[in-house]
Structure 1
């Protein structure tokens, strides 16, 4: 026996979720994502509201179907877990850059409109922009990990595949689902969303696979995205050299 537990909910540990319960969870994810996408986000603190709904609606769905066992997605955080957050955060950043460079050889990228807003931000604007991303990025981890567990359950429990095969299939399918959720952000650019964003999702899900701890993958996600935000902000506010 090892100290690291198995993945929750797909094989009866700590509780088995069945098909109807997985559908409820997926519906809660869709409802939370709709709240994030459709509700107005202009200005702080109003921007916190859809981000919190994006996080809380799936958590309430998980509480509904798993009861007190909803906490199984989250494990304690210590120094080792913080170190793994940093490792997987920069691994995700590096992997995203490499996949982006490779993908750029074959397709043109759609620009992320959020990047343009950083050039005109003050420090206070930046802080107000980053605060809502905390619940939003944890919600994005639920959007990545819950489908992973659902597909793993389907592969092992219903299709009779091995656990190893189920993990690989769940890793790929959940990454594609996560990438598809970003299609509107990237002007429905299928290659950029499914391959570019999907590749980043693979690294973040690997953080969960290694640790069985959504806090670790969420910390890596926050570090990855905030690094990009801060670099974009710094570049937009760098002094421009002028010739004499």
Structure 2
């Protein structure tokens, strides 16, 4: 369910860029920004050895689109980011917990009717040393910011297109942008889950819709990133604990 968003005379409280605030982006600029998003995602495939070098692709993933946004929007690129206060921290935690519940529920249904594949990183972490695990969790912070940009920049581009060029009402434009922007995130996980399209669209896609609510409610990419980090850390951390208990058993 898309949250009800009130119309306000304060344009600074709206989503950035889609309505010319704080700056308008042309269709060409949006296209260049989407290419930068793709380039950032492609950087994850750089053939670097395991270890600290793997931080480089994780950093490039968000850095490339953010630099592109800085070039296209100037200092207004900061409109994606707002302060984090107690309300925002509570929202991030709540969305993370909700997402875990939704993922488990939908994952169980899909596994019963279609079949699912486990994330190989979970099994791999169970065999890693403490240092390698710490590096994995550290690396996940910029990588998950990149995943937020992979979703939310297309969301804003779609919102701009539907609202400005097609003239759709704001709420309908936002609903369509919310739904369609989950597709890049879902499809990007195909290699992780053995190209199981149903699993990626239904399980990962649903998880993405929940995570995006953190941005829709806060208009702050830091909130959705924090929710994403908490979600993954709880899931992977729980898997490590269960793996350790299984070994002792």
Q: Which residue of 2 aligns with 1:195?
A: 202
Within a 5 Å distance, the mapping from 1:148-163 to structure 2 comes to 148-163=155-170
Residues 109-154 of structure 1 deviation map (CA, whole Å, 9 limit, x = unaligned): 1232112212212222210111111100011111111011111111
Residues 193-227 of structure 1 deviation map (CA, whole Å, 9 limit, x = unaligned): 11111101101111100000000000000000011
Q: Among 13, 18, 24, which residue is 1:16 paired with? A: 24
TM-score by length of 2: 0.92
TM-score by length of 1: 0.94
Q: Distance in 2 between matches of 1:230 and 1:5?
A: 36
Shift of 1:44: 2.4
Q: Among 66, 69, 72, which residue is 2:76 paired with? A: 69
Q: Which residue of 2 aligns with 1:28?
A: 36
Shift of 1:52: 0.5
Q: Which residue of 1 aligns with 2:177?
A: 170
List alignment gaps of at least 5 residues for structure 1.
none
Q: Say what the alpha-carbon RMSD is for the aligned residues.
A: 1.5
Q: Distance in 1 between matches of 2:66 and 2:218?
A: 20
List alignment gaps of at least 5 residues for structure 2.
1-7
Q: Which residue of 1 aligns with 2:14?
A: 6
Aligned residues: 241
Q: Distance in 1 between matches of 2:112 and 2:182?
A: 22
Shift of 1:99: 1.4
Q: Which residue of 2 aligns with 1:103?
A: 110
Q: Distance in 2 between matches of 1:239 and 1:161?
A: 54
**Closer, same or farther: CA 206–136 of 1 in aligned 2, 3 Å:** same
Q: Which residue of 2 aligns with 1:112?
A: 119
Q: Which runs of 4+ in 1 moved over 3 A?
A: 1-4, 239-242
1:206 corresponds to 2:213: yes
Shift of 1:43: 2.6
Q: Which residue of 2 aligns with 1:93?
A: 100
**Closer, same or farther: CA 2–228 of 1 in aligned 2, 3 Å:** farther
Within a 5 Å distance, the mapping from 1:119-158 to structure 2 comes to 119-158=126-165
Shift of 1:2: 7.0
Q: Distance in 2 between matches of 1:12 and 1:93?
A: 36
Residues 11-56 of structure 1 deviation map (CA, whole Å, 9 limit, x = unaligned): 01101111101111110010010011x2135432101000001010
